[in-house]
Amino acid sequence: MSDTIIKATGLVKNFGKTKALDGVDLAVNAGEVFGFIGPNGAGKSTTIRILLGAIRANAGNAAIFGKDVWNDAVEIHKRIAYVPGDVNLWDNLTGGEIIDLFIRLRRGGDKKYKEELIEKFDFDPTKKAGTYSKGNRQKVALVSAFASDADLYILDEPTSGLDPLMELVFQECVHKVKREGKAVLLSSHILSEVEKLCDRLTIIRNGKIIDTGTLKELRHLSRNNVTVETKNAIEGIEKLEGVFDVANSGDEVSFKVDAEATGSVMKRLADADISHITVSPPTLEELFISHYGVKQ
């Protein structure tokens, strides 16, 4: 975690009366895959468009490679690859032509690896872009992004049109660039994808960052799921501090427990003579829901 690739502080963006971003901070380092998650309209794409120098923040600073995202956009883009969620292309050009064009406009890429990617993504580059499906249009952007020699990959919901098989290919690509020490900013609401790929993540909602950290750290803040079977009946567990959602089904009891309270609850369970227990960290879904549920 040495070089800071993206550094944004206090980004504010207003569209007329809507406040799309309200003080967004972001820091992405070299060699890490950084997840950017939030519900629809949270401000993910807006943040990314500011980072790309396509729109201008009303307040705050954003720098990539230490350069200003608005003033030095062209310099920065030589080392960036971007994949939008909604890829609009030119009907009269073929997918192969557009891939080549994109790589050339970015100044440089790997020809052999490009062919390999086209193969892997099972993509027909000879068709006119007007006939491509959503997933195939996304492949055009993905192939040209991963085949180019970038130091930062900005991916805005890049897999929303891919089938599960192609998603695996995508994950492989992300792993590869990560191994090469590149940085990746991956916006998504597919939580399983973020879980699999990201080292750190940030959660955004209503234009505000509500949490940042490793998956582990974020999980710490929320509740573990416990399912337990004991020889002796446990009583009054629902009265313990930090225990929620207790449900009995036969011999089994399941509940959620705050991270801090886990130890004391375990002691109590041990007294009742555990015969079987599973403790699982919250899924990202639950993280999401607890964050939004609490604050809605």
Partner 1 sequence: MKISGKYTGTLALCKFALRRDRVWLALWTIGIVSLVVACGPLFPEIAKTPAELASFSETMKNPAMIAMTGPVYAEPYTYGILYAQMMTAWILIVLGVMNFFLVSRHLRKDEEEGLIEVMRSLPIGRSSIVLGTAIETLLANLAIALLSTVGLVLTGVESIDLAGSLVLGGIIFCGGLIFTAIAMLFSQIFMTSRGATGFSFAVLGVLYALGAMGNIEGGAMANISLFSFVFKTSPFSGNYIWPFFILLGEAVVIGFIAVLLNARRDLGAGFIPQRNGRAHAKASLSSPLGFALRQTRTSNIAWILIMLVVGIMYGSIFGDFENFVESSDFFKAMIMADVDAGANAMLSFMTYITLIMSVIAAIPVINVVYRIRGEEKRNRIEQIYSKAVAKRSFLLSYVGIALVLSVLLQAAEGLGLWMSTKVVMSEPFALSEVLAAGFIKLPAIWLIAGLGVLLLGLLPRLTSLVWLYLGTSFFLLYLGRVMDIPKAFMDGTAFGALPDCPIENFAPLPVALVTVMAAALLAAGTIFYSKREISYR
Spell out the residues 6+ positions from residue 165 whose beta carbon is closer than 8 angstroms to its own.
none
Q: What is the 3-state secondary structure (H, E, C) of the chain?
A: CCCEEEEEEEEEEEECCEEEEEEEEEEEECCCEEEEECCCCCCHHHHHHHHCCCCCCCEEEEEECCEECCCCHHHHHCCEEEECCCCCCCCCCEHHHHHHHHHHHCCCECHHHHHHHHHHCCCCCCCEHHHCCHHHHHHHHHHHHHHECCCEEEEECCCCCCCHHHHHHHHHHHHHHHHCCCEEEEEECCHHHHHHHCCEEEEEECCEEEEEEEHHHHHHCCEEEEEEEECCCCCCHHHCCCEEEEEEECCEEEEEEECCCHHHHHHHHHHCCEEEEEEECCCHHHHHHHHHHHHC
Binding partner selected for residue 247 from Mg ion, ligand ATP, partner 1, none, CB under the kind-specific 5 to 8 Å limit? none
Site for partner 1, residues 134 to 163, rule: CB under 8 A:
141
Site for partner 1, residues 93 to 132, rule: CB under 8 A:
93-94, 96-102, 104-107, 125-128, 130-131
Q: Which CB, 14 or 45, lies closer to Mg ion?
A: 45
Q: How far is the CB of 240 from Mg ion (least distance, A)?
A: 42
Q: Which CB, 20 or 228, lies closer to ligand ATP?
A: 20
Site for partner 1, residues 46 to 75, rule: CB under 8 A:
49, 52-56, 73-75
Among 2, 40, 88, 296, binds partner 1 (CB under 8 A): 88
Place of tokens 């070089």: 3
Q: Which CB, 8 or 257, lies closer to Mg ion?
A: 8
Q: Which CB, 43 or 109, lies closer to ligand ATP?
A: 43
The answer to whether residue 44 forms part of the interface with partner 1 (CB under 8 A) is no
- Footprint on this chain of ligand ATP (rule: CB under 6 A): 15, 18, 20, 38, 40-46, 189
Q: How far is the CB of 158 from ligand ATP (least distance, A)?
A: 12
Q: Which CB, 33 or 87, lies closer to partner 1?
A: 87
Among 87, 147, 162, 201, binds partner 1 (CB under 8 A): 87
Q: How far is the CB of 13 from ligand ATP (least distance, A)?
A: 8
Residues near partner 1 (CB under 8 A) are 49, 52-56, 73-75, 77-78, 80, 82, 84, 86-94, 96-102, 104-107, 125-128, 130-131, 141
